[in-house]
């Protein structure tokens, strides 16, 4: 069994989708139940990347303490993997230290890059398609900006640390890192992105299943699409959206700025899309988005996610959609928390980073989501997959 701890829901979903593609029975959890489900891959999604560091480390420590009896008292060998952001965001060192301090792992290999996607580590520095990370868009992000391409310098990892940052320029380098970790004399925790996890699966003897075409979104019932990321893309021209005539309703400015809340937004939605005199009737579903791109405080972003989750909760109760599709990991996690959904079975990986899931708590509804920075791909909203 492989257990993965991810610091955000989109990273967790990416790993769960990979496991599904490699043929593993896969379950995604947002909290540990009293008894673990029977599966080959268990992915634990936390939200520690968006927490203050002190709270994030306490959350990671608590999680490891809950897992410790499972990791070290069962007859079955369990491998722990720490999913980290490919762009070196998050409370990386603190969380890895917490895992090392509260499990039997003696050291960690930290390898966030994906050589298969042009993201490499050479000489301890991170490059994206040949450009140092601190010269890319990730130097400008508000949280965890890339102030240097040197990973050890940026994260203050010293030679005395139990955390090692190996170079990885090619996929073969990644495979060698996994082999060294699994066969070395020290019990070594692997912490990294998708390439490292794929290499771990292949080391364990798994291989990707033959590719299959996505069967398409449900052709019955309504669809609710939630674009909760600043990087959200315009879906108005996509065949599925045009064919279903899904209207767009943006978060009102008053809600965005905090002078109004979810009830005000819901009242606007009712008048515009569900009343007898509706301007844009939501016969087959609805798209919600946030059209403003100004800077955020952490508190404002959290408030808006909460308002969005409250609106989605009310709309799902009203519309009973067969498809709920969310763009933006923090928004997806807030929606999961609002509904109390904690356990999911991966049914399909539509494209890299885009997964489709089911949960007993959802009834007949499918839940699909992706990070804001990832493309949807062609399959999800493809004309050929709809009627």
The total number of structural domains in the chain stands at 2
pLDDT number for residue 385: 46
- Name the pTM for this structure: 0.85
C-alpha 122/C-alpha 126 separation (Å) is 7
C-alpha 87/C-alpha 235 separation (Å) is 26
Whether residue 211 lies inside any domain: the answer is: no
Do residues 193 and 83 touch, judged by C-beta distance below 8 A? yes
If asked whether residues 147 and 247 sit together in one domain, one would say no
Q: How far is CA 174 from CA 194, 196, 379, in A?
A: 11, 6, 29
If asked whether residues 138 and 67 sit together in one domain, one would say yes
If asked whether residues 180 and 94 sit together in one domain, one would say yes
Do residues 380 and 368 touch, judged by C-beta distance below 8 A? yes
Torsion sign across C-alpha atoms 374, 375, 379, 380? positive
If asked whether residues 294 and 373 sit together in one domain, one would say yes
Do residues 124 and 91 touch, judged by C-beta distance below 8 A? no
Whether residue 218 lies inside any domain: the answer is: no
Average pLDDT value for residue range 317-325: 94
Average pLDDT value for residue range 141-160: 91
The residue with greater pLDDT, 105 or 33, is 105
If asked whether residues 46 and 124 sit together in one domain, one would say yes
If asked whether residues 7 and 39 sit together in one domain, one would say yes
If asked whether residues 187 and 320 sit together in one domain, one would say no
If asked whether residues 274 and 129 sit together in one domain, one would say no
User: Which CATH number fits the domain that encloses residue 69?
Assistant: 3.40.50.10840
| Whether pLDDT at 386 is above 50 | no
pLDDT number for residue 380: 82
**What's the length of the chain?**
387
Average pLDDT value for residue range 347-375: 84
Q: What is the pLDDT of residues 34-62, one digit of tens each?
A: 777 888 999 999 989 888 899 999 999 99
If asked whether residues 273 and 338 sit together in one domain, one would say yes
Residue with tokens 């309504």: 222
C-alpha 352/C-alpha 216 separation (Å) is 16
The residue with greater pLDDT, 247 or 33, is 247
Tell me the residue range of the domain where 261 lies: 223-385
Residue where one domain finishes, among candidates 169, 203, 237: 203
| Whether pLDDT at 82 is above 60 | yes
If asked whether residues 15 and 57 sit together in one domain, one would say yes
64: nearest Cα among 42, 97, 93, 108: 97
Whether residue 214 lies inside any domain: the answer is: no
pLDDT number for residue 3: 95
pLDDT number for residue 40: 93
If asked whether residues 188 and 234 sit together in one domain, one would say no
Whether residue 96 lies inside any domain: the answer is: yes
Whether residue 112 lies inside any domain: the answer is: yes
Whether residue 216 lies inside any domain: the answer is: no
User: Which CATH number fits the domain that encloses residue 367?
Assistant: 3.40.980.20
Whether residue 217 lies inside any domain: the answer is: no
Average pLDDT value for residue range 305-322: 95
Q: Could you give the percent of the chain with pLDDT greater than 70?
A: 96
C-alpha 355/C-alpha 86 separation (Å) is 18
Whether residue 166 lies inside any domain: the answer is: yes
Which residues are CB-contacts of 295 (< 8 A; sequence separation ≥ 6)?
A: 142
If asked whether residues 267 and 325 sit together in one domain, one would say yes
Q: What is the pLDDT of residues 60-76, one digit of tens each?
A: 999 998 888 777 665 66
């Amino acid at each position: 069994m492989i257990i993965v701890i991810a610091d955000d829901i989109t990273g967790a979903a990416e790993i769960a989708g990979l496991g599904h593609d490699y043929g593993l029975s896969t379950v995604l959890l947002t909290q540990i139940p009293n008894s673990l489900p029977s599966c080959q891959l268990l992915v634990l999604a936390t939200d520690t990347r968006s927490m203050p560091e002190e709270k994030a480390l306490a959350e990671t420590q608590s999680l490891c303490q809950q897992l410790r009896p499972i990791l070290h008292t069962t007859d079955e060998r369990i491998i722990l993997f720490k999913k980290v952001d490919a762009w070196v965001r998050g409370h990386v060192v603190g969380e890895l230290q917490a895992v090392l301090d509260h499990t039997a792992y003696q050291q960690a290999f930290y390898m966030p890059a994906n050589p298969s996607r042009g993201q490499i580590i050479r000489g301890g520095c991170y490059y994206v398609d040949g450009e140092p990370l601190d010269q890319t868009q990730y130097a400008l992000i508000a949280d965890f900006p890339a102030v240097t391409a040197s990973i050890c310098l940026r994260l203050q990892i010293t030679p005395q640390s139990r955390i090692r940052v190996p170079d990885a320029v090619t996929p073969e380098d990644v495979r060698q890192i996994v082999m060294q970790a699994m066969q070395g004399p020290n019990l070594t925790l692997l912490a990294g992105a998708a390439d490292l996890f794929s290499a771990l699966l292949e080391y364990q003897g798994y291989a990707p299943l033959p590719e299959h075409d996505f069967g398409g979104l449900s052709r019955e019932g309504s669809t609710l699409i939630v674009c909760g990321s600043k990087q959200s893309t315009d879906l108005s021209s996509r065949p599925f959206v045009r064919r279903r005539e899904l209207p767009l309703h943006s978060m009102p400015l008053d809600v965005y700025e905090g002078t109004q809340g979810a009830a005000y937004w819901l009242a606007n939605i009712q008048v515009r899309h569900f009343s007898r005199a509706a301007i844009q009737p939501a016969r087959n579903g609805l798209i919600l988005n946030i059209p403003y791109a100004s800077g955020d405080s952490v508190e404002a972003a959290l408030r808006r996610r909460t308002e969005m989750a409250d609106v989605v909760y009310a709309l799902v109760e009203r519309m009973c959609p067969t498809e709920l599709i969310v763009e933006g990991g923090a928004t997806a996690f807030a929606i999961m928390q609002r509904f109390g959904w904690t356990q999911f079975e991966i049914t399909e990986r539509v494209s890299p980073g885009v997964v489709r899931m089911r949960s007993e708590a959802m009834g007949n509804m499918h839940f699909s989501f992706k990070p804001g920075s990832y493309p949807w791909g062609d399959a999800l909203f493809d004309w050929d997959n709809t009627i």
